[in-house]
């Protein structure tokens, strides 16, 4: 154990030296005496700063730095830092259970319609309510209130057995790190001294932005960054982890529009049959997100080969949702959907969600499917829930309203210098930072 210098003793010693020098008027000229005093003051300040640094490291501080390479093809995009800078009311623990985060504890009513959260001592309910009001539909169709400064209450309109999973979403700006500096190429984050959970062992995180895969591969190979989750192929020598996420890119048929109101036509197209005799000319709408743009040309080529003439319209997600999707003004929709931790299909496939602002884009209505989705939301048995979701997916498949294009699989590659970064229970790529406080860098 390092024996630390005593600051008070250092102060006393410096003062005694100063008194001695004060008596040396006849020995030293005034100019030399001032120079000696200045040097002693500099030495004292340096000693004090060093002692503080040593004490900081000995009491759990760290100089560890973790660097990660991000692929940013759109220079105007604002990087989402997720749980690095944000926190949730709750969070997933490494065993998959839900634990405390900003909320210390919670209560669920017997009818499963009311959830009461008790906030920890670091924050007030009024601070959090501002973020809840600005978070849009993150928490779903609920009413949020704060009867006092330590309590937040959510009231659901219908039971949802996975609501606690929703409260893990990081919408509050109180995560383990805060942004220290930011440019177009680099974002540097530093650990918060007042973080309400375990303080991270890594003091700084540097996120470096790259515009293409080759450059990102190069810096990962040469160890200029320690990790990346934005590549599709393995880099030799790196620790690789592949995690399937409940995020899918699909082509959705609008069953409100002819000829896609006919199941037999949808079935022929999905099975890859040539339908040139139908002389179809359809409007395909797609978001301009990078992951969708990467798939667009392949989808168009496939449909063209089947004899379908495609008129493509691309829009940013916000414009598309508020305009085209709200009016259901499309024949085909190339879109990415996220079912979340609970793989909740209800918002995307229940008959009650066929009209805007619902997300049942296809307009599919099926009583059998509705029952499965409702039961899946109500059952508390996870195995039963998984079976009902599987059965619901089979019904959707047999209705031929969706062409699955790609399931999101995240490949996270890191140097073996990074420890304790095994990934579990991810629903979003940024969830890899759920346990960042436990990570270390050798």
* Residue 351 C-alpha from the chain's centroid: 29
Any idea which architecture 245-407 has in CATH?
Roll (3.10)
Cα–Cα dist 29/32, whole Å: 5
Instruction: Report the pLDDT value the prediction gives residue 268, as an integer from 0 to 100.
Output: 97
Average pLDDT over residues 20-45: 62
pLDDT digits (tens, 9 = 90+) for 271-327: 999 999 999 999 999 999 888 999 999 999 999 999 999 999 999 888 998 899 999
Instruction: Report the pLDDT value the prediction gives residue 58, as an integer from 0 to 100.
Output: 41
DSSP code string of 32-45: HHHHHHHHHHHHHH
Instruction: Report the pLDDT value the prediction gives residue 59, as an integer from 0 to 100.
Output: 41
CATH topology for 65-80+175-238+415-441 is D-Maltodextrin-Binding Protein; domain 2 (3.40.190)
**CB contact at 8 A, 113 and 141:** no
Instruction: Sketch the domain layout of the chain as residue ranges.
Output: 7-58, 65-80+175-238+415-441, 86-166, 245-407
**CB contact at 8 A, 209 and 375:** no
Cα distances (angstroms) measured from residue 137 to each of 82, 260, 312: 17, 30, 29
Cα–Cα dist 248/292, whole Å: 10
Residue with tokens 């916000």: 318
Any idea which architecture 86-166 has in CATH?
Alpha-Beta Complex (3.90)
**CB contact at 8 A, 405 and 335:** no
Instruction: Give percent of the chain with pLDDT exceeding 90.
Output: 64
Average pLDDT over residues 418-429: 88
**CB contact at 8 A, 315 and 285:** yes
- pLDDT of 264 > 80? The answer is yes
Region of residue 89 (left: phi > 0; alpha: psi -120 to 50; beta: else): alpha
- pLDDT of 200 > 90? The answer is yes
Instruction: Report the pLDDT value the prediction gives residue 8, as an integer from 0 to 100.
Output: 53
Instruction: Report the pLDDT value the prediction gives residue 5, as an integer from 0 to 100.
Output: 46
Q: Confidence class of residue 16 from pLDDT cuts 50, 70 and 90? A: low
- pLDDT of 364 > 80? The answer is yes
Q: Which residues pair with 337 in a beta bridge?
A: 248
The pair of three-digit structure tokens given for residue 38, joined into one six-digit string:
């200045």
Instruction: Report the pLDDT value the prediction gives residue 108, as an integer from 0 to 100.
Output: 92
The pair of three-digit structure tokens given for residue 220, joined into one six-digit string:
């990962």
Average pLDDT over residues 199-210: 96
Q: Return mean pLDDT, the chain.
A: 87
pTM of the model: 0.75
Average pLDDT over residues 54-79: 74
Q: Tell me which of 289 and 150 has the higher pLDDT.
A: 150
Instruction: Give percent of the chain with pLDDT exceeding 70.
Output: 87
Q: Tell me which of 380 and 208 has the higher pLDDT.
A: 208
For 102-137, give one letter per residue: b (16+ CB within 10 A) or e: bbeebeeeeebbebbbebeeebebebbeeebeeeee
- pLDDT of 135 > 70? The answer is yes
Q: Tell me which of 303 and 379 has the higher pLDDT.
A: 303
Of 277-286, 389-398, 417-426, the range with the lowest mean pLDDT is 417-426
Instruction: Report the pLDDT value the prediction gives residue 356, as an integer from 0 to 100.
Output: 87
Instruction: Report the pLDDT value the prediction gives residue 126, as an integer from 0 to 100.
Output: 92
Q: Tell me which of 49 and 134 has the higher pLDDT.
A: 134
Q: Which of 64, 63, 59 is nearest to 2 (CA)?
A: 59
Q: Which of 318, 391, 328, 317 is nearest to 356 (CA)?
A: 328
Residue 109's φ and ψ, nearest 5 degrees, are -70, 160
Average pLDDT over residues 72-96: 86
Q: Which residues pair with 90 in a beta bridge?
A: 100
Q: Confidence class of residue 410 from pLDDT cuts 50, 70 and 90? A: very high
Instruction: Report the pLDDT value the prediction gives residue 263, as an integer from 0 to 100.
Output: 97
Local structure of 340: helix, strand or coil: coil
DSSP strand pairing (440-441 vs 98-100): unpaired
Q: Confidence class of residue 30 from pLDDT cuts 50, 70 and 90? A: low
Q: Which residues pair with 333 in a beta bridge?
A: 252, 285
Cα–Cα dist 371/377, whole Å: 10
């Amino acid at each position: 154990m390092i024996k630390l210098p005593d600051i008070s003793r250092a102060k006393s010693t410096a003062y005694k030296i100063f008194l001695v020098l004060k008596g040396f008027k006849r020995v030293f000229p005034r100019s030399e005496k001032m120079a000696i005093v200045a040097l002693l003051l500099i030495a004292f300040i340096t000693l004090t700063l060093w002692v503080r640094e040593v004490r900081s490291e000995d009491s759990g501080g760290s100089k560890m730095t973790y660097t990660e390479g991000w692929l940013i093809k759109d220079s105007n995009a604002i990087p989402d830092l997720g749980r690095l800078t944000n926190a949730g009311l709750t969070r997933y623990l490494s065993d998959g259970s839900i634990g405390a985060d900003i909320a210390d504890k919670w209560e669920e009513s017997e009818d499963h319609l009311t959830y009461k959260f008790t906030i920890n001592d670091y924050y007030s309910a009024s601070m959090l309510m501002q973020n809840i009001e600005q978070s849009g539909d993150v928490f779903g169709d609920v009413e949020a209130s704060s009867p006092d400064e330590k309590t937040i209450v959510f009231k659901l309109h219908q039971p949802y057995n996975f609501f606690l999973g929703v409260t893990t979403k990081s919408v509050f700006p109180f995560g383990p790190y805060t942004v220290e500096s930011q440019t177009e190429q680099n974002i540097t984050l530093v650990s918060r001294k007042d973080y309400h959970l375990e303080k991270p062992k890594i003091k700084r995180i540097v996120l470096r932005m790259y515009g293409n895969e080759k450059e990102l591969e190069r810096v990962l190979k040469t160890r200029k960054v320690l990790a990346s989750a934005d590549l599709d192929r393995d880099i030799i020598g790196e620790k690789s982890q592949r995690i399937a996420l409940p995020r899918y890119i699909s082509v959705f048929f609008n069953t409100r529009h002819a000829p896609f109101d006919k199941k037999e036509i949808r079935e022929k197209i999905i099975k890859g049959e040539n339908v040139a005799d139908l002389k179809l000319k359809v409007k395909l709408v797609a978001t301009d997100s990078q992951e969708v743009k990467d798939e667009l040309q392949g989808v168009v080529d496939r449909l063209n080969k089947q004899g379908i003439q495609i008129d493509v319209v691309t829009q940013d997600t916000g414009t598309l949702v508020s305009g085209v999707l709200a009016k259901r003004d499309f024949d085909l929709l190339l879109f990415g959907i996220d079912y979340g931790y609970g793989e909740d299909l209800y918002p995307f496939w229940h008959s009650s969600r066929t009209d805007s602002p619902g997300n049942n884009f296809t307009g599919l209505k099926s009583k059998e499917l509705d029952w499965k989705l409702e039961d899946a939301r109500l059952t508390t048995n996870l195995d039963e829930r998984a079976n009902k979701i599987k059965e619901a997916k089979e019904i959707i498949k047999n209705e031929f309203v969706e062409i699955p294009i790609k399931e999101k699989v995240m490949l996270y590659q890191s140097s073996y210098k990074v420890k304790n970064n095994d990934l579990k229970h991810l629903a979003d790529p940024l969830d890899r930072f759920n346990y960042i406080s436990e990570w270390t860098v050798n």
